[in-house]
A and B are shown apart, each in its own frame.
Chain A
């Protein structure tokens, strides 16, 4: 892995190194050339601090802007509340003494990352922002140490960590020191997992081993056209597998948000991404010890949604848009969808109910009939586990015809991947509210936060049908070889294509008028706010990976 990382970024960094050198030789006005003996400590502090603020110098900053990217500090300034950023380690410098790195002009106060803490809408967050203008944002031992410091502190006080990634990869001059740095960060990513929310925003290159830090965090967002994530770059790909692929195709935002599922969402540009990140941050609790946040809400909790009464089509083969259901039920139609372009047959994301953050999971009948397949199961499972880890109640809208059949799915391991979603729902101890809007067929019924998996409140709309399978298939099995399939089908529909079989057994708690769903959920969440449930003691569970 590390080897691959080095290979991927070598070319780029060598170029950068040269550029940095030349930029300083020609700029005597930089507050960089000082003589220790003749300056007072006060002046030296000031000069270093000033030097830290300009990172790799104006030329590199201009080059960064020229690529349509902001500098590390500009990004922090946009992300955090005005004047709230408190910087740490602005004086830290790299410790490499090989290859001429010990020279003064190769020392940059703060090195290639800006770290500290600040506020987003008044709430604490720890931030690191890699500085591409200093050695291409490459990761030195000092760089890693700075990141580890704020991660340790975030864990101590219980506050999220946001990483703004823009780095060419390992600092080759430092060798194993750099690799050790990555591992130190990985370990902290793992330790912090489930303790404080971790968010990565990829705003430039992130290649080789470096990609595993974002991969370990809870959410990875990307900036379109200017960011990419891959294990090895196009050159190595070409030499190893003889594939021709561009950087964008291999690891661009589109690839990772629509094909690989590595990234959760992409934004137009740096500004868009940072502003959206602020909005996203407002949905998150600060740590696993904090409750799901509640913001001031202007949307009445008892608002009726008359449009829902006619939303589900009368024919069960016709599609509708689950997003219509979600938008009309949640506060102010405000739904922050996670992975909107990946495995679209399941919809997941954050919203608020009466001001409180909730996680929404919904089958999407509009795409592949809302079936569960490998990708949608994994997408749903990861989201459910995040919600459960951070006390975010889960609301599940069910319209699922079952798991997707076929060799592609079976060979791909739908059994173990499907099990992830089942596992996630079963394990979750946060408040769980489920609404069956239409179909809940077969094993998929069990999976989708059913009563049997400790669903707290399970509702059915009048259009709900809970059954082992659709009428046609069922009749072919029950009445195999008998005539009058049509009559048998009608009988099956009469018996099962309605909410009663589930309701009479108490598998759903009530059959509700769709227009009252918002009101019911808001009330239930109030009741469930004090829910306490624990799973048996274990070292950790063994989710079917």
Chain B
């Protein structure tokens, strides 16, 4: 257990908040991507809240708790002992080992932590126990407030079929369809014909898009019925099927609702979440470019009526599918705080966590529907530790050797639970942060997102910034022409990174050449050394050869102060910068245009990796002489040793974490070798399938012994 004091900076904030409270109570002023909410300390809620979550959402909840003067308790697994959410909390309790089933989902341990710390309420965040009615019940039994809806609402909305029935009854548009036990394939075909093709068939109990099948005719319906009923029985032990109208090219738009325990409910406008990969959201925005005020109101009112129908209290989200004619259909209701809630906070100025806490304590809503604004535009990018070049994102893990959030920019909000030095492990969600930008207009928010992504420094793990950076500048995205199929439609061959334009190529070449020259000049600057030649004139011009994407370019570079003039194929580019060679960011002005690039690596052999418009490009800069001579250098085929893992030392195999046929991610632990009482984790050098395992726990291995082969 660890206790942490409130930092001086935070004390200043609290002080300021206190004084502001005297001037005007609970006013809403939205001017930037921050809450305009004033935290009223006279409104007594809880003394101490336990946050049954980790990572960014735990930190997010604690931030509001601190503003409200509430003490916080973190729970953590043993590998998270140094995590940011643990440091941020006033108290922390370890609830078990790394696997979530033994820690963050371990209700007994969490109940113990609550008793031990005397927390009066629990905020569950999202995921883990947030929609677990059992947990809510156990809290209620011990008189601890659950910051969320009551068990009835969780249960009602947690079941796909029940939630649709309730929605229908509450006059919410639902997708025409059938839910229940389907007797046989013939009945399935009959139902499908009643609804009209295309139809979607899936197990009622399956979440999201899992096991979903689309049928365009009777034949496919029979097949879909067979697969889905098998899966329903085997995976969920629940025979019920869902057959419903399949909405082609749908948008995923959701309405944030807020309801109190006194029967009041508000809709806080929509979030557009259509950009998804494998049914997971990637980029979200609020409001949506697609909704007109009437549709928005209609959706909002239906969402509120659904919330009222289940006596909902707390923050919740009603998800809709919207077709191209602005018909909208209820999808499901999430009875928790959503990942993407910050964009709603940006445009409404409300602090949703604060509202959830107030509501849980029984306070009535402070606002009327008419007081809920749409101020400006907010975009959220989910920054993940994953490789976007593989299926739009396969998880990667590692240590964040360098990490810098773009908080130097105005109107940027970063919700994260990690810091430089943190490990992204296999145990938890690989999300690094939620990057939110805000602007008076959508264009402003998007431009800010470009800048924020360019200024975001993440080293040590593969991340999806290349993909995010491309999505937000894609003409279809900019025009608002999106659907949940955006990614596969725009990148049918998979994501390949930014494709350079002729101008972009020149900008990149000029930057690399200038950086090379700046480094060369710096290498000659010995301080206070009297033995450096002063008979040599400082060079003013260079002839360089730059390789980029298998193309070779001859460049002329001349220097005047910190400005370089680069000649490429008859064009001249002026490149100026402060040429700080220590900074991971490289801010340059290229013919008057400001750009932020990142230099990921630079070596003596002239190889330079630059992140330009989100994508990493590898270049090689050589002097004209070296380039001319390099034709004589032998071609070398790199030896691939990444598929074989050998023991680097003699020792004992303590654990083997994989078996043949498993897929391992790059950097994932394969086995543990103990030598000299030290456990050494052997990790995969690439993402691949395990071909064979040649060791087992307890076995002694020698140096160089084959442990595991990958495919």
Binds A, one of B118-126, B526-534, B546-554: B526-534
Whether the pair B604, A275 counts as a contact (CB closer than 8 A) is yes
Bound CA span A94–B526, Å? 41
Whether the pair B536, A297 counts as a contact (CB closer than 8 A) is no
Whether the pair B649, A293 counts as a contact (CB closer than 8 A) is no
B626 adjacent to chain A (CB < 8 Å): yes
A226 adjacent to chain B (CB < 8 Å): yes
Whether the pair A367, B632 counts as a contact (CB closer than 8 A) is no
Q: Contact string, A336-366, partner B, CB cutoff 8 A, digits 1/0?
A: 0000000010000000000100000000011
Within 8 A of B (CB), among A106-121: 119, 121
Main secondary structure, interface of B, reads loop
A74 adjacent to chain B (CB < 8 Å): yes
Whether the pair B524, A122 counts as a contact (CB closer than 8 A) is yes
Whether the pair B633, A270 counts as a contact (CB closer than 8 A) is yes
Q: How many residues of B contact A (CB 8 A)?
A: 51
A540 adjacent to chain B (CB < 8 Å): no
Bound CA span A225–B635, Å? 11
Residue from A82, A271, A324 in contact with B605 in the complex, judged by beta carbons closer than 8 Å: A271
Binds B, one of A178-186, A327-335, A390-398, A413-421: A327-335
Whether the pair B401, A307 counts as a contact (CB closer than 8 A) is yes
A318 adjacent to chain B (CB < 8 Å): yes
Q: Which residue of B lies closest to A157 (CB)?
A: B531
Residues of B near A122 (CB, < 8 A) are 524, 526, 532-533, 536
A102 adjacent to chain B (CB < 8 Å): no
Binds B, one of A62-70, A199-207, A499-507: A62-70
Bound CA span A267–B603, Å? 12
Whether the pair B633, A77 counts as a contact (CB closer than 8 A) is no
B373 adjacent to chain A (CB < 8 Å): no
Q: Contact string, B668-681, partner A, CB cutoff 8 A, digits 1/0?
A: 00000011111111
Whether the pair A124, B526 counts as a contact (CB closer than 8 A) is no
Q: Contact string, B378-405, partner A, CB cutoff 8 A, digits 1/0?
A: 0000000000000000000001111100
Whether the pair A123, B678 counts as a contact (CB closer than 8 A) is no
A87 adjacent to chain B (CB < 8 Å): no
Residues of A near B632 (CB, < 8 A) are 65, 68-70, 270
Residues of A near B401 (CB, < 8 A) are 307, 324, 327-328
Binds A, one of B169-177, B355-363, B415-423: B415-423
Residue from B528, B606, B629, B678 in contact with A317 in the complex, judged by beta carbons closer than 8 Å: B678
Q: How many residues of A contact B (CB 8 A)?
A: 68
Bound CA span A122–B50, Å? 63
Bound CA span A226–B636, Å? 12
Residue from A296, A310, A355, A472 in contact with B422 in the complex, judged by beta carbons closer than 8 Å: A310
Whether the pair B648, A367 counts as a contact (CB closer than 8 A) is yes
A475 to chain B, nearest CB (A): 14
Whether the pair A307, B524 counts as a contact (CB closer than 8 A) is no
A279-B604, A331-B582 given as contacts; is B678 within 8 A of A365 (CB)? yes
B81 adjacent to chain A (CB < 8 Å): yes
B581 adjacent to chain A (CB < 8 Å): yes
A298 adjacent to chain B (CB < 8 Å): yes
Bound CA span A269–B605, Å? 10
A276 adjacent to chain B (CB < 8 Å): yes
Bound CA span A65–B634, Å? 9
Residues of A near B625 (CB, < 8 A) are 77-78, 82
Whether the pair A307, B676 counts as a contact (CB closer than 8 A) is no
Within 8 A of A (CB), among B517-567: 522-529, 531-533, 536, 539
A343 to chain B, nearest CB (A): 12
Residue from A299, A324, A401 in contact with B678 in the complex, judged by beta carbons closer than 8 Å: A401
B89 to chain A, nearest CB (A): 16
Whether the pair A317, B677 counts as a contact (CB closer than 8 A) is yes
Whether the pair A123, B421 counts as a contact (CB closer than 8 A) is no
Residues of B near A305 (CB, < 8 A) are 420
Q: Which residue of B lies closest to A68 (CB)?
A: B634
A275-B605, A319-B680, A369-B676 given as contacts; is B525 within 8 A of A78 (CB)? no
Bound CA span A119–B533, Å? 8
Task: Pick the most buried of A77, A300, A309, A310: most chain B CB atoms within 10 A of its CB.
Answer: A310
A80 to chain B, nearest CB (A): 11
Residues of A near B419 (CB, < 8 A) are 306-307
Whether the pair A276, B605 counts as a contact (CB closer than 8 A) is yes
Whether the pair A225, B634 counts as a contact (CB closer than 8 A) is yes
B499 adjacent to chain A (CB < 8 Å): no
Residues of B near A123 (CB, < 8 A) are 526, 529, 531-533
A81 adjacent to chain B (CB < 8 Å): yes
B686 to chain A, nearest CB (A): 19
Whether the pair B626, A78 counts as a contact (CB closer than 8 A) is yes
Whether the pair B421, A307 counts as a contact (CB closer than 8 A) is yes
Q: Which residues of A contact B (CB under 8 A)?
A: 65, 68-70, 74, 77-78, 81-82, 84, 119, 121-124, 224-226, 267-272, 275-276, 278-280, 282, 286, 290, 293-300, 305-311, 314, 317-319, 324, 327-328, 331-332, 344, 355, 365-369, 371, 401, 404, 470, 472
Beyond A68-B634, A119-B533, A298-B580, 8 extra complex contacts between A and B, CB < 8 Å: A122-B532, A224-B636, A268-B605, A270-B633, A295-B523, A309-B421, A366-B680, A368-B649
- What are 18 residue pairs bridging A and B, where the CB atoms are less than 8 Å apart in the complex? A78-B626, A121-B526, A123-B526, A124-B531, A124-B533, A275-B604, A282-B523, A293-B529, A294-B527, A294-B528, A296-B522, A297-B582, A305-B420, A306-B419, A307-B401, A307-B422, A314-B82, A369-B678
Q: Which residues of B contact A (CB under 8 A)?
A: 78, 81-82, 399-403, 419-422, 522-529, 531-533, 536, 539, 580-583, 604-606, 622, 625-626, 629-630, 632-634, 636, 648-649, 674-681
